[in-house]
Every structure is written in C-alpha cells, then in structure tokens.
C-alpha cells in the first residue's frame, strides 16, 4: 500500500498540515509520497492505493490549482479507492458556515468531488484553523492533525484487510 498526499499553499500553513499528515502516516508504517500540487505533472491511479488532498480555503472553496488537480483524478482509475480531505481556513469561516448552514470549506468541496468519482471517504474532513491570511496555525492544530492522520492510518489498514 502506497498513498499520495497532495496540497496547495501560498503561505506554508497547508504545507505544514500536509507534511504532518505524511510524517504521521509514515510513523504508522504506511508509505506515502508528498507533493506540492504545482509539482504533479502526471497522476496515475496505478501507482497509488489512496489519496489525501488538501487546499487553503479561497473564497469559500478550494484553490484554482487543486480544482485543476481534480481533473487529473480519473474516476476509472480511482473508483473505490480510499481518500481523505483537509483544508486550512479562518475561524470566522467556520462560524459563518455554522450560521448559514452552508459549506464554505475547501475540504468539504474536495470531499464532494471525490465522492462524485465514487471514491471511498475514510473519515470526516480535517479543517485546520489558521489565524488571518498568512497564519499562524491556531495552537493545538498540529496535534489535532496528528490525531486525524493516526485515525486515517487505522482506517487504511482496516480497509485493505
Ligand atoms: C484570495 C484569498 C481568499 C481567501 N478566502 C478565504 C475564505 O473564503 N475563507 C477562509 O477561511 N480563508 C480565506 N482565505 C485565507 C486563507 O484560507 C489562508 O490564507 C490559508 O488558509 C493559508 O494557507 P497557506 O498558508 O497554505 O496558503 C483567503 C485568502 C486569500 C489570499
């Protein structure tokens, strides 16, 4: 089993979350490749058994580059394969979504698109909170990300039994 973790970032916060997920999966004995979305030229479902995809939230949705990457995830190659989605967003964004009962999260939009491709979502999305446009990450978010990745590792191992 080998997976791919792909992220976009402008100020480094989403990169930090992606690195934390990749490192934690490795510590759990799961092999992963980690890519900045700008460096993914070609993607083949034959090379990977699962996908972890994350984006900064931009205007209530995923970044342009992540939307482009989703076009490379061919449903015939990825059908039934496990995935998890994450994003970074501001606390106000989470409050707004709660108040309006509408999703403004990049991770939720990614999740919807991958479920449309008949991929198998292993756990609820991770919304990592950043303060302001450039960050930093809110205190405790790295620990929460490690918990998310440990949970993901357990589900991945169950999924391949
Ligand atoms: C053009 C632009 C639009 C943004 N729109 C949102 C938004 O709708 N909701 C939100 O929570 N944060 C928004 N942000 C803040 C970003 O989410 C934040 O910069 C990002 O999470 C930081 O991640 P990064 O360091 O990986 O780039 C926006 C930032 C920019 C630059």
Cα(13) to centroid of ligand 1, in Å?
A: 10
Pocket of ligand 1 contains residue 96 by CB under 6 Å? no
Residue 107 has pLDDT above 90, yes or no: yes
Residue ranges of alpha helices (H) inside 35-126 are 64-70, 75-78, 91-100, 106-116
| CA-wise closest residue to 86 among 34, 18, 161, 151 | 18
Q: What percent of the chain has pLDDT over 90?
A: 98
Residue with tokens 């997976």: 3
Instruction: Measure the CA–CA gap between 14 and 115, rounded to whole angstroms.
Output: 22
Which pair of tokens denotes residue 112? 């919807």
Pocket of ligand 1 contains residue 88 by CB under 6 Å? yes
In contact, 83 and 119? CB cutoff 8 Å: yes
Among 14, 58, 64, 66, name the best residue to mutate to test ligand 1's pocket (greatest count of ligand atoms within 8 A of Cβ): 58
What's the rounded mean pLDDT across residues 110-133?
98
Res 161: pLDDT? 54
Confidence of residue 95 (pLDDT cuts 50, 70, 90): very high
What's the rounded mean pLDDT across residues 20-40?
98
Domain extents in the chain: 2-159
Does 3.40.50.360 match the CATH number of domain 2-159? yes
Q: pLDDT digit string (tens) for 50-85? A: 999 999 999 999 999 999 999 999 999 999 999 999
For ligand 1, atom 19, name the residue with the nearest CA. 133
Q: How far is CA 35 from CA 39, 53, 58, 104, 140, in A?
A: 6, 10, 20, 25, 24
Model pTM score = 0.97
User: 133 Cβ partners below 8 Å, 6+ apart?
Assistant: 11
What's the rounded mean pLDDT across residues 101-116?
96
Q: What percent of the chain has pLDDT over 70?
A: 99
């Amino acid at each position: 089993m080998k997976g791919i973790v792909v992220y976009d970032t402008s100020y480094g916060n989403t990169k930090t979350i992606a690195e934390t997920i990749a490192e934690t999966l490795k510590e759990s004995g799961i092999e992963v490749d980690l890519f900045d979305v700008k460096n993914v030229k070609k993607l083949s479902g034959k090379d990977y058994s699962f996908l972890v995809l994350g984006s900064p939230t931009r205007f209530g949705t995923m970044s342009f580059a992540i939307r482009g990457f989703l076009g490379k995830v061919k449903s015939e190659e990825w059908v039934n394969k496990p995935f998890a989605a994450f994003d970074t967003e501001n606390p106000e964004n989470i409050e707004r979504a709660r108040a309006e009962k509408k999703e403004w999260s990049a991770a939720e939009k990614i999740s919807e698109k991958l479920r449309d491709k008949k991929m198998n979502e292993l756990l609820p999305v991770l919304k990592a909170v950043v303060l302001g446009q450039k960050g930093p990450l809110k205190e405790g978010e790295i620990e929460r990300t490690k918990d998310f990745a440990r949970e993901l590792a357990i589900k991945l191992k169950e999924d391949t039994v």
